[in-house]
Amino acid sequence: MTKVAILGIGTVGSGTADIFQDNADLIRKNVGDDVEVKYILCRRMRPDSRFAPRIVLDFDVIERDPEVKVVAECMGGVDPAYDYVARAIRAGKHVVSSNKQLVAERGLELTHLAREHGVAFLFEGSVGGGIPVLRPIMRCLAANRIDSVYGILNGTTNYILTEMIQCGKSFGQALKEAQEKGYAEADPTADVEGIDACRKICILSDMCFGYNVDPAQVRTEGISKIASVDVDYARRMGYRIKLLGRTLRLPDGRVTAYVAPHFVDMENPVVNVDGVLNGIVIHGNAVGNTVYSGPGAGASETGSAVAADILDCLTGPMDRQPIWEAQPEGYFMDADELACRWFVRTKAGLAEIGEAFGSVRFVSIPGGDPEEYAFSTEEMSRKRLMEVGAGMGLLAAYRILDE
């Protein structure tokens, strides 16, 4: 019998433990041996839990037990998760994680540490929840040069925007409902300000392009400033507003990444990914666009990805082990320099708009503010947009994604 340990019994930890308990026969068939969750690390005892006999309070117990072959880190955050993961790797144990902050901020060190010690460090559950996306990058798309990745990477913000678009709710109303339904935390900052999506796009960039991208480098905008009128303008133009994380390889070999609300064309494969679902588009130079959609969070959903990583560790741990390098000088380009078309809303006058932006296409909506003008621009960088729009009292500016 093979023994594993889980760190944390929150949403993902409990979901992972449930899978090993409930799908024991299937797991035995796939692995060729019984797999038992021997320990679950918690901060306190939980006598009412179905896993109470397996709960321990001291990581040392797990670290020193030679029977434990795989450790699943489902705690979240960097401290003490990083310390526990590093110690487990040094003890010769494979580690899997669903912790996007840990992987985004310390994945460079941990992937190299795992290789040094001949064990695996896998983290499928850190991006896209239950959606298989990192394995396809490493395996199915291995013969492709990946040119770009973008997508809806946060179910909370996608739910809020769906309610604003489909039901006409304000941001505040939709957020409150998301919190009542358990989709958003009491403090929703990491979700609604794009921080969660930023961590995930960093991991995707690392995996696809081979060099580390620090979340601190990534321009990140959330959805808290989106007004209902912007939803109406998007609809009028044939778009929907989606919060996207995006990373792409530039013609000169540099890479950029950012998170921002976009006006997304109605033909785009992610435009109808609604509610708490995630949707990711990966472009390979040979295959073109491949699309991945499904539940981006949840106990059993993310637990499914964690459990699959554990099984990989037990059957083929070093098969395309993810690893990336520190970025060389000049590798990363600030997304402010990336050119695209923009939707802009302002109270500036027509002459001022024409002088600043040149050729634009105006758009109006029934009942719109007569003192405002809304229009789409030709391609320009965000840096240029801010320069020409300085002093004009820009009320909103959104990237337009037509691809």
**pLDDT per position as a tens digit, 326-380:** 999 999 999 999 999 999 999 999 999 999 999 999 999 999 999 999 999 999 9
* Mean pLDDT on 223-231: 97
The better pLDDT of the pair 220, 296 is held by: 220
Residue 320 reports pLDDT greater than 80: no
pLDDT above 70 covers a percentage of the chain that reads 99
Burial of residue 179 (CB within 10 Å: 0-12, 13-18, 19+) is middle
Contact 346, 392 (CB under 8 A): yes
The reported pTM is 0.96
What rounded mean pLDDT belongs to the chain?
Answer: 96
- C-beta neighbour count of 294 within 10 angstroms: 16
Place of tokens 């060389």: 328
**Known catalytic residue: 242?**
no
Asked whether the predicted pLDDT for residue 278 surpasses 70, the reply is yes
Cβ–Cβ < 8 Å for 198, 213: no
Residue 316: pLDDT over 90: no
In this prediction, residue 228 has a pLDDT band, given cuts at 50, 70 and 90, of: very high
Over residues 255-280, the mean pLDDT reads: 97
The predicted structure's pLDDT at residue 118: 94
Q: How far is CA 378 from CA 118, 261, 329, 343, 384, in A?
A: 52, 18, 31, 10, 12
What was the pLDDT predicted at 291?
A: 98
Region 209-233: mean pLDDT is: 97
Please state the rounded mean pLDDT for residues 211-236: 97
Residue 317 has pLDDT above 70, yes or no: no
Query: pLDDT at residue 200 above 90?
Result: yes
Q: Given a cut of 90, is residue 403 above it in pLDDT?
A: no
Is 56's pLDDT higher than 80? yes
User: Which residue has 């499928």 as its token pair?
Assistant: 124
Residue 129 C-alpha from the chain's centroid: 9
Residue with tokens 């959805």: 223
Q: What is the pLDDT of residue 86?
A: 98
Q: Select which of 181, 200, 242, 383 is catalytic.
A: 200
Angle at 394 between CA 399 and CA 381, to 5 degrees: 40
Q: Are 2 and 36 in contact (CB under 8 A)?
A: yes
Query: pLDDT per residue over 370-381, tens digit each?
Result: 999 999 999 999
pLDDT, one tens digit per residue, over 70-128 is 999 999 999 999 999 999 999 999 999 999 999 999 999 999 999 999 999 999 999 99
Q: Does the pLDDT at position 391 exceed 90?
A: no
- Which pLDDT value is given to residue 319? 66
